[in-house]
């Protein structure tokens, strides 16, 4: 039996004080969010790199009603032949995820037949479907973002709270309704390319260079950086700590006021994003602009601006060159197949969508719930708006209904804050995976986005040498000092020329890519965020190293070869 594959303390550990996980009232289609049970050892549970800061109590409502709900709904709607989506286990605030496998061959076959009918129909209408979904999301988001729950009655706050949860569910249904077929399509095209003997390194290039909302945000940040120079505010940025820049600007005269107005215009459009995916605990830029201002502060340290237009020209030229070089090596017959596959992926481009959607969903759709919790905390007389984040769903709902009062629960909030902070500090020591290493991972999101392929299992077992081997995700090579980051809130502190070493990156990390010399990740494959963004920024990237954050310390000198997938520790400081 595989009992010992899950550490005993994770099955019986003290959860957040004062809450029994079995009372979690989130929606689920076929597997609830839970804590580990000994029998879970039969499955494979990687530590979910998307949530490096971990979850505050109310955050668990978001992951359950968001990504977990979304994968389970989409996995049965498409349907995915061997998987019913993702399930997850909580260890303190940290999340381990696993696919929900289907093992019966007959059922897999039936689902494959249905999926074979549904996927082409979906892909054929992708642009219309996505345009409809964006319109739906924008309507929802605009409605929720323009409403103000603060100061409303408890029952009104309760309604806003439930609507926020429904927005999260709907956003994440859309997320995986789209993501699964797009990934499957890209992976199929990738398979075709390997049959055609094309190099794995060049396949990723075929679909790069299409502008996204996230790229647009980064470009605007550089625009603001130029404005700082034009308005003569560099010195203020240079001598002021990131978190104090906004306050300093407010009392620094007319030019600073002009800048603040422009910053506000920027935040109105691009500021509704949190620092982490579905991270309720981090304030959006529009509420706390420390992150964009800190990023501008470090952009000012660079010798020259990141030239987005030039980079895009180069990325597009590289794409066209890669495509024409590949086509030149194909027979007339094979070229027809390649063109058809490439056309299908261009029309439903995963690489593009994987950035684009974050603007609407991953960084944004949970923010109304954050505001609901703040309004609730205020309405019930909590000391701080943040206290609402430390309530579990049933507790928040009970307060909103008036079934309980703040005094019943106020004492737990402080304990839960300490619990959250204690466990967050342990992030770097958390096992990268629990349970049994499987023969194969079949859920395409688990496999391609989490990067749980053969290379990952190989990397786990061969980790002692000075050369780490991972997935060559973006070509080129670079040398520089390592900066190991476990949390995105330190992102704006990265210095130009450093090599970012992390579990994985998320969309909110992109501004850093203009500064770093290379990117190195524990998780991921060629389709993960870091891979795609590195190609757009033309820096080398290696993913799926499994143990990079454990093996490398900040200050170590690294040589990153994104063409071979090797990371060499030239000099170990740590």
Closest CB 280 distance from other proteins, rounded Å: 32
Stretch that binds other proteins, among 54-62, 340-348, 482-490, 508-516 (CB under 8 A): 340-348
Q: Which is nearer to other proteins, 86 or 249 (CB)?
A: 86
* Ramachandran bin of 542, using left for φ above 0, alpha for ψ from -120 to 50, beta for the remaining angles: beta
Closest CB 338 distance from other proteins, rounded Å: 8
Q: Which is nearer to other proteins, 328 or 407 (CB)?
A: 328
The SS3 assignment for 212 reads coil
Out of 41, 54, 66, 81, point to the residue binding other proteins (CB under 8 A): 81
The SS3 assignment for 308 reads helix
Q: Which is nearer to other proteins, 251 or 331 (CB)?
A: 331
**Residue 80 contacts other proteins per CB under 8 A:** yes
Closest CB 361 distance from other proteins, rounded Å: 22
User: Cβ distance 529 to 507 under 8 Å?
Assistant: yes
Polymer length in residues for the chain:
574
Stretch that binds other proteins, among 159-167, 362-370, 416-424, 439-447 (CB under 8 A): 439-447
**Residue 188 contacts other proteins per CB under 8 A:** yes
Q: CA 129 to CA 122: how far, in whole Å?
A: 8
What string marks each residue from 373 to 392 as x (binds other proteins by CB under 8 A) or -?
A: --------------------
**Residue 117 contacts other proteins per CB under 8 A:** yes
Closest CB 81 distance from other proteins, rounded Å: 5
Out of 56, 64, 179, 184, point to the residue binding other proteins (CB under 8 A): 184
**Residue 437 contacts other proteins per CB under 8 A:** no
User: Cβ distance 489 to 508 under 8 Å?
Assistant: no
Start-to-end CA distance of the chain, whole Å, equals 39
DSSP 221-264: HHHHHHHHHHTT-HHHHHHS-GGGHHHHHHTS-HHHHHHHHHHH
* Ramachandran bin of 283, using left for φ above 0, alpha for ψ from -120 to 50, beta for the remaining angles: beta
Q: Which is nearer to other proteins, 441 or 569 (CB)?
A: 441
Q: Which is nearer to other proteins, 75 or 375 (CB)?
A: 75
**Residue 120 contacts other proteins per CB under 8 A:** yes
**Residue 330 contacts other proteins per CB under 8 A:** yes
Query: What is the DSSP secondary structure assignment for residue 342, as one 8-state letter?
Result: H
**Residue 337 contacts other proteins per CB under 8 A:** yes
Alpha helices, DSSP H, located in 290-405: 290-299, 308-328, 332-347, 350-356, 367-379, 393-401
Stretch that binds other proteins, among 54-62, 113-121, 128-136, 209-217 (CB under 8 A): 113-121
**Residue 191 contacts other proteins per CB under 8 A:** yes
Nearest to 362 by CA among 137, 54, 41: 137
User: Cβ distance 219 to 511 under 8 Å?
Assistant: no
Q: Which is nearer to other proteins, 331 or 407 (CB)?
A: 331
Q: CA 374 to CA 156: how far, in whole Å?
A: 13
Q: β-pairing, 477-485 with 471-474?
A: unpaired
Query: What is the DSSP secondary structure assignment for residue 479, as one 8-state letter?
Result: E
What string marks each residue from 441 to 470 as x (binds other proteins by CB under 8 A) or -?
A: xx-x--x-----------------------
User: Cβ distance 508 to 415 under 8 Å?
Assistant: no
Q: CA 399 to CA 395: how far, in whole Å?
A: 6
Chain residues in the site for other proteins (CB under 8 A):
80-83, 105, 108, 112, 115-117, 119-120, 123, 181, 183-185, 187-192, 195-196, 328-334, 337-338, 340-341, 344, 440-442, 444, 447
């Amino acid at each position: 039996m595989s009992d010992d594959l899950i550490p005993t303390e994770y099955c019986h550990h003290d959860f957040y004080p004062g809450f029994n996980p079995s009372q979690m009232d989130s929606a689920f289609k076929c597997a609830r969010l839970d804590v580990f049970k000994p029998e879970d050892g039969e499955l494979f549970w990687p530590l979910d790199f998307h949530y490096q800061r971990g979850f505050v109590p109310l955050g668990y409502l978001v992951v359950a009603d968001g990504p977990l709900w979304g994968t389970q709904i989409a996995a049965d709607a498409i349907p995915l032949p061997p998987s019913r989506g993702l399930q997850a286990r909580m260890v303190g605030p940290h999340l381990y995820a696993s696919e929900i496998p289907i093992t019966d061959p007959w059922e897999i076959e039936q689902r494959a037949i249905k999926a074979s009918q549904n996927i082409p129909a979906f892909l054929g209408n992708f642009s219309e479907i996505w345009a409809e979904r964006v319109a739906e999301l924008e309507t929802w988001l605009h409605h929720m973002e323009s409403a103000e729950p603060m100061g409303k009655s408890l029952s009104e706050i309760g309604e806003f709270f439930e609507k926020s949860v429904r927005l999260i569910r709907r956003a994440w249904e859309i997320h995986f309704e789209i993501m699964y077929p797009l990934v499957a399509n890209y992976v199929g095209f990738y398979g075709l390319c390997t049959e055609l003997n094309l190099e794995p390194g060049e396949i990723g290039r075929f679909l790069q260079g299409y502008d996204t909302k996230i790229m647009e945000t980064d470009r605007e940040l550089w625009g603001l950086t130029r404005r700082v120079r034009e308005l003569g505010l560099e010195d203020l940025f240079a001598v002021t700590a990131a978190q104090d820049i906004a306050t300093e600007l407010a009392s620094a005269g007319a030019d600073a006021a002009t800048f603040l107005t422009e910053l506000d215009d920027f935040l109105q459009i691009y500021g509704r994003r949190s620092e982490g995916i579905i991270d309720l605990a981090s304030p959006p830029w529009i509420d706390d602009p420390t992150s964009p201002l800190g990023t501008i502060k470090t952009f000012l340290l660079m010798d020259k601006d990141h030239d987005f237009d030039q980079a895009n020209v180069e990325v597009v030229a590289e794409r066209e060159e890669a495509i024409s070089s590949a086509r030149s090596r194909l027979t007339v017959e094979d070229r027809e197949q390649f063109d058809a596959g490439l056309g299908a992926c261009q029309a439903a481009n995963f690489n593009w969508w994987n950035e684009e959607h974050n603007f609407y969903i991953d960084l944004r759709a949970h923010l109304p719930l954050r505001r609901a919790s703040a309004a609730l905390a205020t309405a019930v007389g909590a000391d701080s708006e943040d206290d609402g984040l430390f309530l579990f769903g049933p507790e928040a709902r009970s307060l909103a209904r008036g079934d309980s009062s703040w005094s019943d629960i106020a004492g737990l909030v402080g304990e839960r804050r300490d619990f959250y902070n204690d466990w967050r500090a342990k992030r770097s020591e958390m096992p990268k995976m629990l349970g049994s290493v499987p023969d194969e991972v079949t859920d395409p999101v688990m496999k391609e986005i989490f990067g749980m392929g053969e290379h990952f299992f190989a990397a786990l077992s061969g980790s002692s040498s000075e050369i780490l081997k991972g997935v060559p995700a973006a070509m080129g090579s670079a040398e520089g000092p390592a900066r190991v980051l476990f949390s995105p809130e330190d992102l704006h502190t990265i210095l130009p020329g450093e090599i970012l070493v992390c579990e994985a990156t998320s969309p909110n990390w992109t501004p850093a890519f203009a500064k770093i010399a290379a990117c190195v990740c524990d998780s991921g494959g060629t389709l993960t965020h870091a891979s795609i963004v590195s190609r757009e920024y033309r820096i080398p990237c290696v993913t799926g190293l499994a143990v990079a954050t454990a093996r490398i310390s900040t200050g170590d000198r690294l040589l990153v070869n994104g063409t071979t997938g090797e990371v060499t520790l030239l000099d170990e400081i740590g």
